[in-house]
Amino acid sequence: MKLTKYNILVADDEENVRVLLKEILEGEDFFVEVVNNGEKAVQAVKNHQFDCALLDVRMPVLDGMEAFLKIKDFSPDLPVIFLTAYGSSDIAIKAMKKGAYDYLTKPFDIDELKIKVKKAIDLKEVTQSAQLNRSAFKYTADEIIGDSSSMQEVYKEIGRIADSDATVLIMGESGTGKELVAKAVHNHSGKKNNPLVVVNCAAIPESLLESELFGHERGSFTDAVSRHLGKFEQASNGTIFLDEIGDMSLSLQAKLLRVLQDKTFNRVGGNETLLSNARVLAATNRNLESLVKDGLFREDLFYRLNVVTITIPPLRERKDDITLLVAYFTSKYAKKYGKEIRGVSPEVNDLFLKYDWPGNVRELENAIARGVIVTSSSMITIDYLPKELVAVNNHSKVISDNQESQSKKLNENGGIVSLPELIARVEKETIIKVLNECEGNKTKAAKILGISRKSLFNKLRQYSIANEDTQNEE
């Protein structure tokens, strides 16, 4: 520890933030210099030696990110903490990727601020920050929505590990966004211009999965009429994402372990040993540790995969994110279906905050998509929600009583369905409803539904909607 005081630079265009930060940090016995824009922050770093800098993201003249990049050139080891009012994944990941030490979202917690500044200074002292990757990187937007503190940790972790070649294990319940996180890791890595190849290990029959992953030589089995390049080869120089890895058979696990250990593999029926340089990301919603205990997952593979783990918290543990997610999905689906929807009613909002979301973000997304499609007003009201959600209002105990079995049930049977299936269901329900309202008059029904009579007939046939005169009327 040095005897002189530590110097902290604060750059923020808001006077009250500057005053507040100065007071807090001086209270901790730091020297504090405050400036009101990014340009002055860069100047200050050129003129003085600082131990930590706090930069607002939005500032006039030079914004925080621009100032940060200049500061990094000049003083690469200075730990920088961003202050942002916009806790979006984009800014967070971008800042961490560029080598920022951390960031705080406004309004910030004073204790958290003090801890972060002190930790940043410690880190500088051991000059670890110099190791952070600073390669120039073209930024791509992610669509991970949520600014709860647990999601912020996820963004930071993505930023920290994206550029390394480390194998990453992404864990989280069904529908929490594991695939989105895998995409973000790839998009923020140096391999982003090369392929990201996704393999769903649970969806492919075991007999085919080996050839799907590693390819096969012509004639290696009955249907192998020609040589086939596997996903590991397709992902050459890029990333391979092994989804639902917990469902992989033990014999394939051994082969996967081999690729992870020495990067080699053989095509099915092939003698040539091939090399893979694909970065491996894996995801599962199962508890790999207990699979290991039950002898269903190789322990050695588990440790190989578990080098870096990103755990996405379930939605019920970050209900702060619900409002943002609702706004995001409402505008996404309103746009998609050409509707003007302002949002959800206050009653729906309350219900969303009460509900346990066993299907996580996917379930929320489906509820909103459905609401947008079926609502006839500019608002999604409680009448347009799936019944399992509304049930929570009447018996809010139901789900928490038996949360685990409930969530299992919803995941395994049709409680949570794919979007196309959901849309088909809603479409069918809507057609039946409108037809009933029009007492079977198809011309009228088609008009109300905003489709041609012909497409109404096609849909009646597609959904096997019984209607005596459907056959004769064309």
Q: Which is nearer to ligand ATP, 254 or 419 (CB)?
A: 419
Q: For ligand ATP, which residue of 148, 152, 174, 407 counts as binding (CB under 6 A)? A: 174
Of positions 66, 153, 179, 427, contacts ligand ATP by CB under 6 A: 179
Task: Out of 216, 318, 362, 442, name the contact with ligand ATP by CB under 6 A.
Answer: 362
Q: Does 230 bind ligand ATP (CB under 6 A)?
A: no
- Name which position in 23, 26, 73, 143 contacts ligand ATP (CB under 6 A): 143
Distance separating alpha carbons of residues 134 and 304, to the nearest angstrom: 27
**Whose Cβ is closer to ligand ATP: residue 13's or residue 320's?**
320
Our CB check for ligand ATP shows the closer of 186 and 362 to be 362
Q: Which stretch binds Mg ion (CB under 5 A): 83-91, 179-187, 209-217, 295-303?
A: 179-187
Cβ proximity to ligand ATP: between 59 and 341 the closer is 341
Total residues binding ligand ATP (CB under 6 A): 16
Per partner kind, with CB cut-offs from 5 to 8 A, the member of ligand ATP, Mg ion, none near residue 176 is ligand ATP
144 counts as binding ligand ATP under rule CB under 6 A: yes
Of the residues 13, 39, 179, 320, which one makes contact with Mg ion according to CB under 5 A: 179
Tokens 């204790």 locate to 111
When binding is defined by CB under 6 A, the residue of 145, 281, 334, 410 that contacts ligand ATP is: 145
Q: Single out the residue of 64, 79, 159, 177 in contact with ligand ATP (rule: CB under 6 A).
A: 177
Buried b (16+ CB within 10 A) or exposed e, 10-25: bbbbeeebbebbbebb
Which residues of the chain form contacts with ligand ATP (CB under 6 A)? Answer: 143-146, 172, 174-180, 285, 361-362, 365
